[in-house]
Chain A
Amino acid sequence: MGDTPSTASIAPGKHRSLGLNPEDLLDMYYKMVLTRVLDQRVWALNRQGKVAIVGSCSGHEGAQVGAVWAMDRSRDIFFTFYRDLCALLTLGVTPKEMLLGYMAKAGEPMSGARMFPGHGVYPQYRIINLSNVVGAQMTKAVGSALAAKIRKEPTVVIVFFGDGATSEGEWHEALNFAGIHRLPILFFCENNRWAISVPQHKQMAVPDVALRAQGYGMPGVVVDGSDPLEVLKVTRESAERARNGGGPTLIEAKVERLMPHTSDDDDRRYRPREDLERAKARDPIERFRAYLKGEGILTESQDTAIWARAQKEVDEATEFADKAPFPDPSTLLDHLWATPPGRKGV
Chain B
Amino acid sequence: MAVKTVIEAIRDAMREEMRRDSRVIVLGEDVGRRGGVFLATEGFIDEFGEERVIDTPLAEASIVGLAIGAALNGLRPIAEIQFTDFIWPIVNQLVGEAARHHYGTNGQVSVPIVVRSPYGGMVRGGLYHSQSAEGFFYHCPGLKVVCPSTPYDAKGLLKSAIRDDDPVLFFEHKRTYRTVRGEVPDEDYTIPIGVADVKREGRDLSVFSYGLTLHYCLQAAEALAKEGIQVEVVDLRTVKPLDTETILASVKKTGKALIVHEDNLTGGVGAEVSALLADAGFTYLDAPIKRLCGPDVPAMPFAPTLEQAFMPTTDKIIDAMRHLARY
User: B303: which A residues are within 8 A, CB to CB?
Assistant: none
User: B142: which A residues are within 8 A, CB to CB?
Assistant: 336-337
The answer to whether A345 and B242 have CB atoms under 8 Å apart is yes
Task: Assess whether B126 is interfacial by the CB under 8 Å rule.
Answer: no
User: B54: which A residues are within 8 A, CB to CB?
Assistant: 146
The answer to whether B194 and A345 have CB atoms under 8 Å apart is yes
Kindly identify, within residues 203 to 224 of chain B, every residue whose CB is under 8 Å from any CB belonging to chain A.
none
Assembled-state Cα–Cα distance A140/B111 (Å): 11
User: A192: which B residues are within 8 A, CB to CB?
Assistant: none
The answer to whether B103 and A114 have CB atoms under 8 Å apart is yes
The answer to whether B107 and A335 have CB atoms under 8 Å apart is yes
The answer to whether B74 and A343 have CB atoms under 8 Å apart is no
Q: Which of B73, B92, B102 contacts A144 (CB 8 A)?
A: B73
Task: Annotate A139-159 by CB proximity to B: 1 below 8 A, 0 otherwise.
Answer: 111111111101100010000
The answer to whether A143 and B65 have CB atoms under 8 Å apart is yes
Kindly identify, within residues 319 to 346 of chain A, every residue whose CB is under 8 Å from any CB belonging to chain B.
334-339, 341-346
The answer to whether A121 and B109 have CB atoms under 8 Å apart is yes
Given contacts A123-B108, A133-B97, A136-B93, contact A341 B192 (CB under 8 A): yes
**Least CB separation from B75: chain A residue:** A147
User: A177: which B residues are within 8 A, CB to CB?
Assistant: 56-57, 59, 62, 66
User: B286: which A residues are within 8 A, CB to CB?
Assistant: none
Kindly identify, within residues 59 to 90 of chain A, every residue whose CB is under 8 Å from any CB belonging to chain B.
77
User: B105: which A residues are within 8 A, CB to CB?
Assistant: 110-112, 114, 120-121, 130
The answer to whether B108 and A142 have CB atoms under 8 Å apart is no
Assembled-state Cα–Cα distance A176/B62 (Å): 10
The answer to whether A346 and B72 have CB atoms under 8 Å apart is no
The answer to whether B97 and A130 have CB atoms under 8 Å apart is yes
Task: Assess whether B234 is interfacial by the CB under 8 Å rule.
Answer: no
User: B56: which A residues are within 8 A, CB to CB?
Assistant: 177
Assembled-state Cα–Cα distance A336/B142 (Å): 6
The answer to whether A169 and B104 have CB atoms under 8 Å apart is no
Task: Assess whether B267 is interfacial by the CB under 8 Å rule.
Answer: no
> Could you show 9 A-B contacts with beta carbons less than 8 Å apart?
A139-B64, A150-B75, A170-B65, A176-B59, A177-B62, A338-B112, A339-B164, A342-B243, A343-B244
Known A-B contacts: A111-B105, A112-B106, A345-B242. Give 8 more (CB < 8 A). Answer: A130-B97, A144-B73, A146-B70, A170-B93, A337-B102, A337-B144, A338-B107, A343-B245
Tell me the A residues contacting B by CB distance below 8 Å. Answer: 77, 110-112, 114-115, 119-121, 123, 128, 130-131, 133, 136, 138-148, 150-151, 155, 169-170, 173-174, 176-177, 180, 334-339, 341-346
